[in-house]
Amino acid sequence: MIIDCAYYQDGRRVDEGELSLPEAAARSRQGGGFVWLGLYEPAEEELDRVRETFGLHELAVEDALNIHTRPKVERYDGNVQLVILRTARYDDAAEEVELGEISVFLSPTFVITVRQGVASELHGARQRLEQRPELAGSGTTAALWAILDTVVDGYAPVVAELERDIDQVEATVFSGAAAQTERIYSLRREATDFYRAVHPLLAVTASVQRSMDKRLRHYLRDVQDNLLQVDEEIAAQRDLLSTILEANIAVISVEQTRVSIRQNSTIEQLTILATVFLPLTFVTGFFGQNFGWLVRSIDGWGAFIAYGIGGLVVPLVLLYTWLRRSRSGPREAGPAMR
């Protein structure tokens, strides 16, 4: 879909209305100015018409239709360059980074921008250029500078929102509570994807600078400074997220250890209780049988105390002695080993 198409001469927009493709191609051949054609998610048939009208290379058009993971610069016949940029914006509702793409076909007589994704708004870039006619008079490279400046300016809010999310996760982890590991992984993946969109753009701007007018190089260096700052901040965020992930794993491990200790203590108490009742159950079960000898022999208080009570007390004393020795054994061995 064509968003806008205009002809610029001597740094100013000549026509207020939108030009058709044949009119734009005819104006671009006149010389003395340039055409800026903006498209948003065009269909393949529409982009084919643009290719035939402006004589673009078919491989360049194919690149513009596909989403790339890294910015790049390609040079084709006819003094045409294809500059691919990655755009970004932060979606507050989904709490994630949305990436888009802008493909810029650049020649001395025309600029064609193909936008993919909602994060690729360029209305501000066109306004910025039209408000600076002294820069727009430099030609199509001025339009490329305005596009780069707009794209890089859009990175700063994304960095700030990611920083806010990271601070929230960091506060949760370092307060001693376990954060959602999935959320940390998601943030690190978003930071990594954002880094892949930003870092290669440093090489792209360096390549573009060599072909720019001297009047624009100072402005492009300002864009490069902002881009370098964003690149460093994203790299720091990735490192911080790695540290937070390790700390979160340590917090989870400590919590699991505490749970394991509580479970071991409970099991130990149940084991001692079962061990105490095991010999008592045996003694009471044995003397509860109706053997003739038992019935004839245990007929007084003395025999009852000797066999009945004694049979219960003796196992308890032996069990208590064994448990005490087994518990004190490791502590007594410790100093001897040192």
pLDDT band at residue 337 using 50, 70 and 90 as cut-offs: very low
Residue 338 in this model has a pLDDT that exceeds 50: no
Q: Residue 85: pLDDT band by 50, 70, 90 thresholds?
A: very high
124 by Cβ neighbours in 10 Å (0-12 / 13-18 / 19+) ranks as middle
Highest-confidence segment of 1-5, 76-80, 229-233, 259-263: 229-233
DSSP for residue 6 = E
Mean pLDDT over 82-100 rounds to 90
SS3 307: helix
In whole angstroms, give the CA distance from residue 126 to residue 16.
Answer: 13
Residue in 202, 234, 232 with CA at minimum distance from that of residue 97: 234
Q: How confident is the model at residue 336 (pLDDT cuts 50, 70, 90)?
A: very low
Query: Above 90 in pLDDT, residue 156?
Result: yes
Domains in the chain: boundaries: 2-252, 264-327
The residue among 290 and 239 whose pLDDT is bigger is: 239
Confidence grade of residue 294 (pLDDT, cut at 50, 70, 90): low
pLDDT greater than 50 at residue 154: yes
Half-sphere exposure in the Cβ direction for 332 (13 Å, CA): 6
pTM of this structure: 0.75
| Digit-coded pLDDT (tens) for 254-266 | 777 877 888 888 8
| Residue 125: Cβ-neighbour burial (10 angstroms; 0-12, 13-18, 19+) | buried
* pLDDT in the model for residue 302: 73
Mean pLDDT of the chain: 83
Token pair recorded at residue 317 = 């004393």
Among 121, 111, 103, 105, CA closest to 143 = 111
State mean pLDDT over 5-33: 83
Q: Which residues of 87-123 are buried (b: 16+ CB within 10 A; e: fewer)?
A: bbbbeeeeebbbbbbbbbbbbebbbbbbbbbebbbbe
Fold of 2-252: Beta Polymerase; domain 2 (3.30.460)
Residue 164 has pLDDT above 90, yes or no: yes
- The predicted model gives 11-34 an average pLDDT of 83
